[in-house]
Amino acid sequence: MERRWGNQRIELTIGDITEQNVDILVNAANSRLAGGGGVDGAIHAAGGPSIMEETRHRYPHGCPTGSAVISSAGNLSARYVIHAVGPIWQGGHAHEEKELESAYKRCFELAATHDATSIALPALSCGAYGYPLDLAAEIALKTSILWFKFHTQPRLIRFVLYSEGPYSVFADVLEELTGPS
């Protein structure tokens, strides 16, 4: 599914984030940038050890929740990996919404400053961190649409959902926000 605004677009696809042919891949990292399972495990496994070596060196204090840092992409075909730290879901009253929004926004800012045309992101916080998918999809997509209102880069924002279930949640929310195609 996709929606266009001039020469910019949001795409939703089912797949593996590591296989996307884009300028920037977004990792669902933790604040210690210590690696882990899910997207983080897949990105480091496919990208090789140079990514972790670089983030250790450049960001020895990690990355706060609600923010993101950038590194090169090792063996991956992308130019960069952005390591974004979404919030752990705690019921919705611990600033999770603001933190998730700012994590996505920081990804788009870094993409723009690194002159990236295309970025692929997973559903941040929706796995190990337990964020309800429908609420997370609304934040992810609203933040993307708002970004396009005021910025020309990146031109493609692609959300890569791991299976049919999360894909259809994102698709329903995108349709609610933009109307039927």
Active site amino acids? 40
Binding flags for ligand AR6, 142-171, as an x/- string (CB under 6 A)? ------------------x-x---x-----
> Nearest to residue 137, comparing CAs of 109, 178, 90, 106?
178
Q: How many CB atoms lie within 10 A of CB 166?
A: 22
Q: Return the residues of window 19-38 that contact ligand AR6 according to CB under 6 A.
A: 28-30, 35-38
| One residue of 47, 62, 66, 127 binding ligand AR6 per CB under 6 A | 127
14 forms part of the interface with ligand AR6 (CB under 6 A):
no
Please, what sign has the CA dihedral across residues 45, 143, 94, 172?
negative
Strand locations in 15-126, DSSP E?
24-28, 68-72, 80-84, 118-121
Residue 128 backbone dihedrals phi, psi, to 5 degrees: -55, -30
**Beta carbon of residue 71, minimum distance to ligand AR6 (angstroms, whole number):** 15
Q: Which residues bind ligand AR6 (CB under 6 A)?
A: 16-18, 28-30, 35-40, 42, 86, 122-129, 160, 162, 166
